[in-house]
Amino acid sequence: MNEKKNIPQICKVGLFTKILGGKWKLAILWNLRDKTLRFGQLASIMDGVSRKVLSDQLQQLESDGLVSRKSYNETPPRVEYSRTTIAKNLEPLFNKLEEWVDSNYFK
pLDDT at 11: 85
CATH classification at residue 80: 1.10.10.10
pLDDT at 97: 92
Q: In terms of residue numbers, what domain contains 58?
A: 12-105
Cβ burial, residue 22 (10 Å; 0-12/13-18/19+): middle
Instruction: Give the rounded distance of the alpha carbon of 47 from its chain centre.
Output: 16
Residue 7 lies in a domain: no
Report the predicted TM-score, pTM, of the whole model to 2 decimal places: 0.84
pLDDT at 9: 72
Residue 2 lies in a domain: no
Q: Dihedral through CA 78, CA 42, CA 25, CA 22, nearest 10? A: 90
Cβ neighbours, 10 Å, residue 78:
13
pLDDT in tens, the chain (107 residues): 455 566 567 788 888 999 999 899 999 999 999 899 999 999 999 999 999 999 999 999 999 999 999 999 999 889 999 999 999 999 999 999 999 999 999 87
Domain count, the chain: 1
Residue 48 lies in a domain: yes
